[in-house]
Amino acid sequence: MRKLVLANAYLAVWSCKYIAIDNIFTKELFEKKFRKKFDFISFGSEIKGVKSTDILEKLGLQKEEYFLFVGRFIPDKGLQYLIPAFEKLNTNKKLVLVGGSPNPSEFEVNLKNTSDPRILFAGFIYGDDTVTLMQNAYAYIQPSDIEGLSPVILSVMGLGTPLICSNIKENLYLVKDDALTFEKSNIEALHGVLQRSLSDREGHLELAAKAKQRILKDYSWETITDQYVELFKKSITK
């Protein structure tokens, strides 16, 4: 598989005049490897025309009474830090974990062994239901050890939902100073920012408001589309 991916990369690089890469760090890696310049155009953020659904009622949730994670249940995503960090938290709020696998791994099975009744494994949820959960969460948590430039983070910030995430470089590139961050893989550090979010709600909401304003300006689909149009124009004229 690794050889196939590498072969495809070589094919793309040497057969295309221009290449747009949606991860600034992948762009830097490719430029170093191939000694060639590439364009960086990120994924967009805003979610338009979404109607609220009854997913909160179905799951027995109340607005802003739960923390949320959406993603795969694999070690890279950091749920092995999030669950124990939350278990030590003194709160009546819930932790809602959306995702999983039709054929759960041993890792996923072990995650679900928690006895904390506040932790809800919601299964697979898609589309407007997911957006409704994001819009109404007390805070969204991205505890990853490994990520690209996360479309989920962009969407969450574009919705104005307070964000907590690990301090990996990909996350920090997107969030700047507009989220609560913690040292990756560190349960105590994650517990600390969860507690901070609970004790300083106004401060966390202020960060979320700043994030929304910046993200909808810099990562709107209009902005992203304009960048692609300029790249297409460049490919035609040069």
pLDDT digits (tens, 9 = 90+) for 136-189: 999 999 999 999 889 999 999 999 999 999 999 999 999 999 999 999 999 999
Q: In what order do the strands lie in the sheet with 139-142?
A: 119-123, 94-99, 66-71, 139-142, 163-166, 180-182
Quote the pLDDT of residue 238: 59
Question: Does the domain spanning 55-218 belong to CATH 3.40.50.2000?
Answer: yes
Give me the residue spans of the domains in the chain. Answer: 1-40, 55-218
Task: Please name the residue ranges forming H helices in 16-121.
Answer: 24-34, 55-59, 79-87, 106-111
Predicted confidence at residue 49, as pLDDT, reads: 64
- What local confidence, expressed as pLDDT, does residue 1 receive? 67
Amino acid present at 14: W
pTM beyond 0.85: the answer is: yes
- The predicted-structure confidence for 87-142, as pLDDT tens digits, reads as follows 999 999 999 999 988 788 999 999 999 999 999 999 999 999 999 999 999 999 99
